[in-house]
Structure 1
């Protein structure tokens, strides 16, 4: 059982690493396209790329058959697609208004949102330690959202990123309800459905379409940072639950912030460094909560 849990944890960490590159890479690509078109091609890349993966999956499954989606899953599928149209658009808008490193750290608020929603809507247990982690992460998010002057005025870009994280918190819990079904099918539907929805929105609001080269770059980024990442994330949820998977996923913002600093050389203000420290503490409390509880149970049984 412990070995199986470790495999699910490894999937969650791998998903986090792939997703971590999305914020800094998207920040670069946003110079060439609107936020809505950017969100569209990210998800279309995920759906298209994973559709290709599906063609080769039969030889990799060793006879194992996945459960297919059915009519009973329709509500959660629709909600998943709608939320995946809203969340990346909010994130892309936020990225245009704030630094990539700031946005990367703020993405950690998704842990708090996912865990609280899982607790309220689905009764998923949340320990005292995890509640402490949620509180610290929330405090760090609030600190990161303050304007550069340190006043109580909030950065609009940060607010959009936090709204995106909250929307993904709801979406994570919808995806959780589908985690026993074929993960590849879920990712393909999520990618193509959300990407097509965002594309329709971009056309309706009159956004100027980007050049073909940009489309290919954005779709390639979407395949790895959204497609492969989501596929691994859905698999991890099977064994860890929505709150726990999101906790292991906490490493992504720090990887993203490091990449962002290396690429953009954003100034590390005292506020950012204080928030970074709080995020590290909050992520530690959240991510290692289950590990410490298991260790205590083992010691007590000796």
Structure 2
């Protein structure tokens, strides 16, 4: 790894570690809150929490001088918010139908989705090694998506998680276009916009409002797993690009799966273990020298 890239890679890994706890923790909270309200409070926690971080930042004499968002960024901001309304709702629905460890590993499909979209839409160079990683990750995702009996039918919960990962792949590339702007402003807009949007959806479909204590827990989780994680992720994209940042972020699903197994003691089926091995191989191919060095 190039020396100049090391700080950005560290940010991507830190973002992954913070996000890793979101799947198992959300699985626990889904017993007390509907998927749409959970998605809302996770992002509201990120937006409100990072707003306070912004206020604290202003108290430093040598505060950061970041480039603010302008009218030219409106399209990407709007797409980012809409996709961040859709993706977490899909994930919460999927989590309610499958195990937390299964969902954690399936989140790795976001690497493949982000890289393919970055290649097609923005021309980011992708090496043969990364294409191999994408193929292996996709194969592992398909294996994880099979029904419990290993039939050719797909698990509905897994399909929802894969749809969420694809939506986040698009969202990562929208965020990429804002990576040179103030990350704090991006995260606050993302959190408040997506949180309010999901709240409106929950209200319109008649979801029951959870007890306030669980609202608080969800918002705290959102601040760390979404707010702080996204903030670091946006910074990392400045030096790595959307696809490569996502590849370093690949450690998150494995941490999440380990936490999920520890908490829920989900049975480790032969299919899950085979998919885990494939996911590890695919993530290694993607994360290390997965990108061409062409400028």
Asked if TM exceeds 0.5, the reply is yes
Deviations 1:226-274 (A, max 9, x none): 0000000000000000000000000000000000000000000000000
Deviations 1:56-77 (A, max 9, x none): 1134583431000000000000
CA drift of 1:289 comes to 1.8
* Shift in alpha-carbon separation, 1:89–1:66, aligned structure 2, 3 A: same
The equivalent residue for 1:150 is 150
Map 1:199-210 onto structure 2 (within 5 A).
199-210=199-210
Map 1:169-184 onto structure 2 (within 5 A).
169-184=169-184
2:3 corresponds to 1:3 = yes
Q: Is the 8 A contact 2:46 2:223 kept in 1?
A: yes
The equivalent residue for 1:300 is none
Map 1:136-285 onto structure 2 (within 5 A).
136-285=136-285
Map 1:56-71 onto structure 2 (within 5 A).
56-60=56-60, 62-71=62-71
| TM-score normalized with structure 1 length | 0.95
2:43 corresponds to 1:43 = yes
2:138 corresponds to 1:134 = no
The equivalent residue for 2:288 is 288
Q: Is the 8 A contact 2:57 2:63 kept in 1?
A: no
The equivalent residue for 2:108 is 108
* Shift in alpha-carbon separation, 1:239–1:97, aligned structure 2, 3 A: same
Deviations 1:15-71 (A, max 9, x none): 000000000000000000100000000000000000000001134583431000000
2: CA distance, partners of 1:63 / 1:188:
18
* Shift in alpha-carbon separation, 1:36–1:63, aligned structure 2, 3 A: closer
2: CA distance, partners of 1:60 / 1:134:
43
Give 5+ residue unaligned stretches, structure 2: none
Deviations 1:178-203 (A, max 9, x none): 00000000000000000000000000
Moved over 4 A (4+): none
1: CA distance, partners of 2:68 / 2:127:
33
* Shift in alpha-carbon separation, 1:65–1:148, aligned structure 2, 3 A: same
Give 5+ residue unaligned stretches, structure 1: 298-302
